[in-house]
Structure 1
């Protein structure tokens, strides 16, 4: 019974493949080429008194215009077959090459236009192309993330002309539609960034993404601070109120310029003197926060917060005991050109960034 089911499944697979091939013109041309090859080879072997293998060999080298000259027609009928084979072979060969080249060009254009289905997993999906999402993509690359980044946008052609980011796959479509998100393989993504320049649309996208993927870390941009809580309820793990944050930075620059300069320095990784990273706290489990702080300071790192079970503990008390599942948020100096990073620094890894984003 199992064998019969396997045979039936194989039969259906072959039938589906045959239907797909029959709908492709290159299959028709290849079939014509096969018929011409067999007809020429068999007829040539009969009229020239050669074996079938020799006749087929002669037909193939004649159709491809190789013409080694080791087998030549010696009868009038053989010469007639040779002329017909040469004409048919050139026509079929030219058609095959032109169709194959056309398919390659069409596939490249469809990819450039975003009419594709991404089939990877544990990747980063960026939904919406805005100044914030563009900065996020560039920041990911500058921090060493080398995994796949899939951008979902309704205008991929305009994006493709503006950006030169390596490894960015474009998927065209309405991000609020399930079909578009499935083509971007959102259900298998490790992290998702949503930035649409419209909070209402962002909420709909976050709801759709969370419905497809319950484990991915979703980071959303909120243009208005009153929508932050709504986005959290929709399923976003982290919400960044960009406009509100920018206004607070402007005010802080006037009243507390040192604090504003610190944040500005962190936000400009290419030119900044310091960076913020995360390192696992497992090696320090059971130790007091103050002891870990002093130990890490000797390696050029300053812990400023603890991420524990999705909650951020800022400025922890000195006697706070670290747990094995904790993550330390640390400030580290940016190495100058030619200098090594401080010992113990956990630089972002290319492939593991999305892979470790299963939860918040």
Structure 2
């Protein structure tokens, strides 16, 4: 008998405190509502009337539409106020504290992400901020999970769930629910030198692929040596920042006509984006010129052809397109 009582007590104590207090308040309302209807049947002819009075009394609203008339009824009212109102006030206080704690835990990056088909961005920097803004413009309802260990609190951005922690740690990645993510983007750690940042990025890539081998991963690499390691680690897309930056700078120098202002228009958020599309059957065997004219009718510009691992940008107009090729297109 004692063991059974202890088991029931342990189960009761294992429930959240706000649930326990809510149950106590409900029981008190039912008990005193029934009791007052028995003591004063003229004022409270039904149990429902008594329960209504008990709710109004416990909540300290006090409409005054029905009140006890006898000394016994008034005594029940006093006990109801002293006991019931105390528990009710405690319930709302605990509920408010729990809500505040949960909100603070969300801001601190401690709440796990439960949804799926989201994009995970590793590292908070200006590049990550720009990517989030672009993604919100292109796909406003796409959920984004940001993982970073340097931020003290979540950035105030819509549809961004912040997870604070080391991205090479499985516990952190599982909190971000990478098992059910759509893709992951790894940015270079701006607090490290180039080599250390690349080594960190490759470790994050290995951790991601270890948890979800099919996860589409885009990684930013700052040095050529680590680009090979990123490829071996299973990166689906390697962004060589050192190449892109140097090429843009050199192109701007050679053009000498404000070319840098055009780069902002390459942002997908402006409505223009690059696409790599499989060659449709009707373009197999056609020349680059014929395919370009066909795509222009669809308001797209053909920039090049991707064949296996080689991308041929602006090939000769007579370049023949084969089955299995991919079209590199700029469209809106």
Q: TM-score range by the shorter chain?
A: 0.7 to 0.9
Alpha carbons 1:123, 1:147 under 8 Å: kept: yes
Q: How far, CA to CA, are the matches of 2:220 and 2:240 in structure 1?
A: 6
SS in 1 for 2:120: strand
2:75 aligned partner: 80
- TM-score, structure 1 normalization: 0.74
Out of 117, 131, 139, the residue aligned to residue 134 of structure 2 is: 139
CA displacement at 1:252 relative to structure 2: 4.2
Deviates more, 1:130-139 or 1:212-221: 130-139
Deviation sequence 1:97-150 (CA, Å, 0-9, x none)? 222222222211111111111111111100111333333223323444530111
In structure 2, relative to structure 1, the CA distance for the partners of 1:54 and 1:136 (3 Å cut) is closer
Q: 1:53 to 1:252 in 2, by over 3 A?
A: closer
**Contact 1:22–1:28 (CA<8 Å) still a contact in 2?**
no
Q: Could you tell me which residue of structure 2 aligns to residue 336 of structure 1?
A: none
User: Which sections of structure 1, spanning at least 5 residues, go unmatched?
Assistant: 1-14, 333-344, 346-360
| 2:322 match | 321
The Cα of 1:86 is off from its aligned counterpart by: 2.2
Alignment of 1:183 onto 2:175: yes
Q: How many residues align?
A: 310
Report matched runs for 1:143-158 at 5 Å: 143-144=138-139, 146-157=141-152
Residue 263 of structure 2 corresponds to which residue in structure 1? Answer: 266
Matched, 1:113 2:108: yes
Give 1:95-106 correspondences, 5 Å limit. Answer: 95-106=90-101
In structure 1, which of residues 41, 47, 54 is the aligned counterpart of residue 33 of structure 2?
Answer: 41
Contact residue 58 and residue 84 of structure 2 kept, 8 A: yes
Q: Quickly say closer, same or farther: Cα 1:132–1:57, change in 2 above 3 A.
A: closer
Residues 35 and 106 of structure 1, relative CA distance in 2, 3 Å threshold: same
Unaligned 5+ segments in structure 2 are 1-6, 190-196
Change (3 A) 1:138 1:203: same
Q: Cα deviation per residue 1:66-90 (whole Å; 9 max; x = unaligned)?
A: 4444543222111111122123333
**Cross-structure match for 1:250:** 249
Whole-angstrom CA distance in 2 between matches of 1:272 and 1:168 = 17
Deviations 1:191-249 (A, max 9, x none): 11011421111111100101122222211111212110101111111111213432343
Q: Contact between 2:134 and 2:268, CA under 8 Å: does it hold in 1?
A: no
Q: Structure 2-normalised TM-score?
A: 0.80
Between the aligned partners of 1:33 and 1:144, the Cα distance in structure 2 is: 46
* Structure 1 residues 14-48: Cα deviation after superposition (integer angstroms, max 9, x where no partner): x9xx9598342212321331332233223323322
Given the superposition, is the C-alpha separation of residues 264 and 310 from structure 1 closer, same or farther in structure 2, using an over 3 Å criterion? farther
Which of 158, 168, 173 is the equivalent residue of 2:165? Answer: 173
CA contact (8 A) 2:138 2:268 kept: no
CA distance in 1: counterparts of 2:269 and 2:70, whole angstroms: 84
